[in-house]
Amino acid sequence: MNVSAKAEEILESLWIATEEQGEDAASFERLRIVPDDEGLAELVGLAFIEVNGEWVKLRKEGRDEARMTVRRHRLAERLMMDILDIKGITGDERACEFEHLLHHGVDTKICTLLNHPTTCPHGKPIPPGDCCDQARQEGEVGVVALTELKPGEKGEIAYLAATDVSKMQKLMSMGVLPGCDILLTRTYPSYIFKVGHSEFAVDGELAREIFVRKV
C-alpha cells in the first residue's frame, strides 16, 4: 500500500501523538494541516483515519501503515547519520525527503544494512519490521564490526567501510575481501584474524571498518 508523501506526514505525526504520547486524537493545528488538505482526504478515503471537527483520530485500519511510516522516517534518519554521515538539521531534512522512497522492501534492506536498529538518532523507538522479528527469532545479529566478535568466532566479511582508501586497498590486495570467511582469534593487544590460511593483525580502528556477517 502506497500513500502520498503528504498523507505519510500526517500518519507519522498522528502516530507520534496517539501511540507514543498517549493522546486520543490530534488537532489540525498539531498536524499542521488545513481542513481541505489532499492528504487528509486521501486517508479518509482509505478509512485510515476519522475526522471529527478539528480533530483527527487514527483508525485500526490505518495503524499498520502509520507504524511503518514512522519506521521508515527513523530508519532514514539513522541512514543519514550512520552511513552517509549527514548530521544536524540537514540530516533531519534529508531524512524527511528520503523516507518517502523507502518502499517495496527498500526499508527492509536498509534495516538489515543498519543491523536492525531499535532507536532513531534522537533516541525515539523505531517500530520493528518483519525483518527485525525474523532476525530476532533466528538469533541472528546481522552485520557487525569485527570488534563486536569474540575470539574464536567466525563470520563472513560483508563489506569494508572505506574511510581511508589506501588502507582499504591494502586490505583488499591482501585478500581481505567481502565474501571471505574470517575467524577472529585474538582481540588484545591487537585484533588478530585468519582469512584462508593467512593471519593478519590490525588495530581497533581498522577492525571497526571490517564488517562481518556472523555465522
Partner 1 sequence: MQNQLKTEKKIILVGNPNVGKSVVFNSMTGSYTTVSNYPGTSVEVSRGQCQIAGESYQVLDTPGMYSMLPITEEERVARRILLEESPHVVLHVIDARNLERMLPMTLQLIEAGLPVILLINIMDEAERIGMQIDIQLLQEKLQIPVVGGAIGRAKRGLWELRDAIRDFTGNRATFVYATDLEKDIQEISNLMQGDYILDKRSLTLMLLQRDEEIAQRVKDREGEHYESVENAVNDTIFARRVDLHLRISLERKRICKGLLDGVITQQENEQFSFADRFSNWTMNPWTGIPLLLIVLYLGLYQFVGGFGAGTIVDFLEGSIFEEYLNPWVIGLCNQYIPWYWLNELLVGEYGLFTLGVRYAVAIILPIVGTFFIAFAVIEDSGYFPRLAMLVDRVFKKIGLNGRAVIPMVLGFGCDTMATVVTRTLESTRERIIATLLLALAIPCSAQMGVILGLLSGVPGALMVWTVSMIGVFLLVGFLSAQVVPGERPMFYMEIPPMRLPQLQNVMIKTLTRMQWYFMEIFPLFMIASVLLWAGKLTGALQWLVEAFNPVMRVLGLPNEASAAFIFGFFRRDFGAAGLYDLQTQGLLDPVQLTVAAVTLTLFVPCVAQFLVMQKERGWRTSLVIFFLVTGMAFTVGWSLNKFLLMTGILA
- Binding site residues, partner 1, CB under 8 A: 160, 162, 164-175, 177-179, 185-186, 188-190, 192, 195-203, 205-206
Q: Which is nearer to partner 1, 48 or 98 (CB)?
A: 98
Q: Which is nearer to partner 1, 47 or 101 (CB)?
A: 101
Q: How far is the CB of 115 from partner 1 (least distance, A)?
A: 20
Residue 83 is placed in which grid cell? 552511513
CA distance 71 to 95: 12
Q: Which is nearer to partner 1, 35 or 175 (CB)?
A: 175
Alpha-carbon distances, residue 33 vs 18, 20, 41, 87, 186 (angstroms): 17, 20, 11, 28, 58
Q: How far is the CB of 203 from partner 1 (least distance, A)?
A: 4
Q: Where are the beta strands (DSSP E) in the chain?
A: 26-27, 49-52, 55-58, 143-145, 154-160, 181-186, 191-195, 198-202, 210-214
Q: How far is the CB of 29 from partner 1 (least distance, A)?
A: 44
* Residue type present at position 45: G
Residue located via cell numbers 564490526: 145
Question: What burial class does residue 78 get, using C-beta atoms within 10 Å of its C-beta: 0-12 exposed, 13-18 middle, 19+ buried?
Answer: buried
Q: How far is the CB of 101 from partner 1 (least distance, A)?
A: 17
Instruction: Measure CA 178 to chain center.
Output: 21
Q: Which is nearer to partner 1, 32 or 170 (CB)?
A: 170
Q: Which is nearer to partner 1, 46 or 192 (CB)?
A: 192
Q: How far is the CB of 102 from partner 1 (least distance, A)?
A: 20
